[in-house]
């Protein structure tokens, strides 16, 4: 949803459907004004998710995972306390149980767990091109939709129904909203299998990541919980 009003309306409809099915439902509205985490693209996102389950998790991803997961534990009657639920989830991220369970699920579905043990097994794009900032300041906007469209144009998604998805390409962001960047510092890395669009892609991402001199605050990740 592109605004809070529509998101709240959808959440209430989902809760109403849950009640019809005799299922307690909780909706958590999260911010999508910037990409969650740092990686955009198929293999890049799987790598980031795998690292997260090993405990190497970015703060914004962790906040969403713990919020969603804690409500799941409460709804499943494993605990009736959200803070206790978050503590349990945190412990399983740290002690390796989350990663171990993920490997079990992949193996049970016929997946190759060697990819999870050795992240370098994933296909890597031929070219990894850095994008440098042309000025110093605070990042105040990274449009998630536009980043997604750019990743799609690199081959990470389909523009036409019969397009083939290139799992190795995508974008890795080095900064989040609220971060300070100096002139000449890396803003992102473009993972590409062709340099045909490299200059256009670099200019596009510099337009998407907006920088100003005034201090910018990090975005709030969890906007609202509706029960």
Q: Give the start-to-end residue ranges of the domains of the chain.
A: 1-30, 125-212
Per-residue model confidence (pLDDT) at position 76:
95
Per-residue model confidence (pLDDT) at position 175:
97
Q: DSSP class of residue 154?
A: I
| SS3 (DSSP) at 153 | helix
Per-residue model confidence (pLDDT) at position 116:
87
pTM: 0.92
Per-residue model confidence (pLDDT) at position 33:
94
Cα–Cα distance, 43 to 225 (Å, whole number): 31
- The residue ranges of the chain whose pLDDT is under 70 are none
- The dihedral over CA atoms of 213, 214, 218, 219, expressed in degrees to the nearest 10, equals -100
- Please state which CATH number belongs to domain 125-212: 3.90.1170.30
Q: Are 74 and 207 in contact (CB under 8 A)?
A: no
Per-residue model confidence (pLDDT) at position 57:
94
With the C-alpha atoms ordered 123, 146, 212, 202, is the resulting torsion angle positive or negative? positive
- CA angle, corner 162, sides to 203 and 154, nearest 5? 15
């Amino acid at each position: 949803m592109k605004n809070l009003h529509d998101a709240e309306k959808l959440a209430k409809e989902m809760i109403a459907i849950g009640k019809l099915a005799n299922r307690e439902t909780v909706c958590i509205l999260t911010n999508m004004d910037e990409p969650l985490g740092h990686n955009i693209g198929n293999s890049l996102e799987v790598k980031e998710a795998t690292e997260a389950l090993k405990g190497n998790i970015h703060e914004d991803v962790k906040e969403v995972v713990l919020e969603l997961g804690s409500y799941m534990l409460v709804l499943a009657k494993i605990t009736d306390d959200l803070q206790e639920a978050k503590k349990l989830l945190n412990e399983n991220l740290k002690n390796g149980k989350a990663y171990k369970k993920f490997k079990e699920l992949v193996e049970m579905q016929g997946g190759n767990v060697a990819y999870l043990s050795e992240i370098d097994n994933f296909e890597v794009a031929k070219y990894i091109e850095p994008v440098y900032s042309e000025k110093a300041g605070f990042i105040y906007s990274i449009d998630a939709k536009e980043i997604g469209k750019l990743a799609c144009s690199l081959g990470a998604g389909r523009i036409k129904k019969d397009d083939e998805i290139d799992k190795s390409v995508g974008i890795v962001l080095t900064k989040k909203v609220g971060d300070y960047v100096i002139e000449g510092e890396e803003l992102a890395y473009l993972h590409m299998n062709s340099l045909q669009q490299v200059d256009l892609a670099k200019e596009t991402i510099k337009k998407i990541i907006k920088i100003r001199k005034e201090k910018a605050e990090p975005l709030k990740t969890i906007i609202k919980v509706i029960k």
